[in-house]
Amino acid sequence: MSKAKAARKVRDKWRAKEWYDVYAPAYFGEKMVASIPCSDPTRIVGRVVETTLYDITNDFSHQSQKLYFLAVNVKGRRVETVLKGHEYSADYLRSLVRRGSTRIDAIFNVTSRDQYVTRASVVAFTRDRVNANQQYLIRSIMRKTVDEKAGTLTYDQLCHEMVLGIFGSEVYNLAKKISPLRHVGVRKSKLLVIPEGVVGKPAEILAQAKPAEA
């Protein structure tokens, strides 16, 4: 195929596509977070859009939080999403490390009141080195707090608690009695299960999740 024909084919392919606006869920203000081109709207469901909390809140202190929104429904040119997960940026996580302190990690699978299942990776950084027993006690507080939260909150509310640092603040206030802390937070989350009836074929949507591309 000649270069001219190849270029024309690419142009024709793009002309066949239409732009769809991707919106964050209501618990993040339903703000438009991206526009993606697609020739078939049925292929949009399952795509994942990456943004930052800063792009939603315009708060500069939130630029280190990455958010991943999963497309679950298309209405006209509007794409509806749920939070598929979030994570600290690598640079921010590295900036929390200090010599002479201890990093404590814990990972929990929790079920919200409305039966969403998410994996929460919690991290704490102490001011000084702590022994194994102190680490165990801090992890126990993490476990108890996340279980209690998940059992009383909807997934929408749980996302807010994890992403905006509310959960980390509660663990911090309890765990600082064991050892002085510098930081506690949910460094990463991942949506594992969407309950039946919320969207069509939720297990398939999660299984086919992939970055939003042309």
Looking at the structure, tell me whether residues 73 and 27 fall in a common domain. Answer: yes
Q: How many helices (H) and strands (E) does the chain have?
A: 7, 9
- Of 24-33, 38-47, 85-94, the one with minimum mean pLDDT is 38-47
pLDDT of residue 212: 64
Q: Which residue has the higher pLDDT, 8 or 41?
A: 41
CA 132 to chain centre: 30
pLDDT tier for residue 6 given thresholds of 50, 70 and 90: very low
* Stretch 127-142: mean pLDDT: 96
- Domains contained in the chain, number: 2
Mean pLDDT of 31-60: 90
Task: Print the domain residue range for 32.
Answer: 17-88+198-211
pLDDT at 20: 94
Residues 109 and 175 in one domain: yes
Q: Assign 15 a pLDDT band (cuts: 50, 70, 90).
A: low
Tell me the C-alpha to C-alpha distance, in Å, between residue 212 and each of 15, 33, 70, 154, 191: 18, 12, 9, 27, 17
* CB neighbour list of residue 169: distance below 8 Å, 6 or more residues apart: 184
d(CA 167, CA 172): 9
pLDDT at 214: 40
pLDDT at 202: 74
Q: Specify if 71 maps to a domain.
A: yes
